[in-house]
Amino acid sequence: MFATLSDRLTGILTKLRSKGRLTDADIDAAAREIRLALLEADVALPVVRVFINAVKERARGAEVSQALNPGQQVIKIVHEELIGILGGEARRLQFAKQPPTVIMLAGLQGSGKTTLAGKLGRWLREQGHQPLLVAADLQRPNAVNQLQVLGERANLEVYAPQPGNGVGDPVQVARDALDHARRQARDIVIVDTAGRLGVDAEMMAQAAAIRDATSPDETLFVIDAMVGQDAVTTAEAFRDGVGITGVVLAKLDGDARGGAALSVRHVTGQPILFASTGEKLDDFDVFHPDRLAGRILGMGDQLTLIEKAEQAFEEDQKERMSAKLFGGEQLTLDDFLEQLQAVRKMGPIANVLGMVPGMAQMKDQLAEVDDSQLDRVTAMIRSMTPAERANPKIINGSRRARIAAGSGRTVTELNQLLSRFADAQKMMKQMGGMFGMPGMGGRKA
Site residues (vs ligand GDP, CB under 6 A): 107, 109-115, 140, 143, 146, 195, 250-251, 253-254, 276-279, 283
Query: Pick from 22, 79, 87: which is nearest to 271 by CA?
Result: 87
Q: Which residues pair with 247 in a beta bridge?
A: 221, 272
**How many C-beta neighbours within 10 Å does residue 61 have?**
12
Q: Is 108 one of the annotated binding-site residues?
A: yes
Query: Pick from 330, 326, 323, 341: which is nearest to 422 by CA?
Result: 330
CA distance 108 to 99: 28
Q: Is 105 one of the annotated binding-site residues?
A: no
Q: Is 253 one of the annotated binding-site residues?
A: yes
Minimal distance, residue 292 CB to ligand GDP, in Å: 14
Q: Is 193 one of the annotated binding-site residues?
A: yes
Minimal distance, residue 195 CB to ligand GDP, in Å: 5
Q: Closer to ligand GDP at the Cβ: 107 or 131? A: 107
Whether the CB-CB separation of 396 and 416 falls below 8 Å is answered with no
Q: Closer to ligand GDP at the Cβ: 109 or 341? A: 109
Whether the CB-CB separation of 16 and 74 falls below 8 Å is answered with yes
Whether the CB-CB separation of 102 and 96 falls below 8 Å is answered with yes
Q: Is 130 one of the annotated binding-site residues?
A: no
Minimal distance, residue 137 CB to ligand GDP, in Å: 6
Query: Pick from 174, 168, 153: which is nearest to 103 by CA?
Result: 174
Q: Is 196 one of the annotated binding-site residues?
A: yes
Exposure b/e, 304-331, CB count within 10 A at least 16 = b: bbeebbeebbeeebeeebeebbeeeeeb
Whether the CB-CB separation of 358 and 300 falls below 8 Å is answered with yes
Q: Closer to ligand GDP at the Cβ: 112 or 166? A: 112
Q: Closer to ligand GDP at the Cβ: 220 or 325? A: 220
- Which helix or strand (DSSP H or E) is residue 113 part of? helix 113-126
Whether the CB-CB separation of 122 and 238 falls below 8 Å is answered with no
Q: Closer to ligand GDP at the Cβ: 113 or 265? A: 113
Minimal distance, residue 173 CB to ligand GDP, in Å: 16
Q: Is 246 one of the annotated binding-site residues?
A: no
Minimal distance, residue 287 CB to ligand GDP, in Å: 12
Minimal distance, residue 283 CB to ligand GDP, in Å: 6
Q: Closer to ligand GDP at the Cβ: 254 or 386? A: 254
Q: Is 252 one of the annotated binding-site residues?
A: yes
Q: Closer to ligand GDP at the Cβ: 70 or 121? A: 121
Phi, psi of 373 (to 5 degrees): -65, -45
Q: Is 112 one of the annotated binding-site residues?
A: yes
Minimal distance, residue 238 CB to ligand GDP, in Å: 13
**Residues comprising the binding site for GTP?**
107-114, 192-196, 250-253
Query: Which residues are known binding-site members?
Result: 107-114, 192-196, 250-253
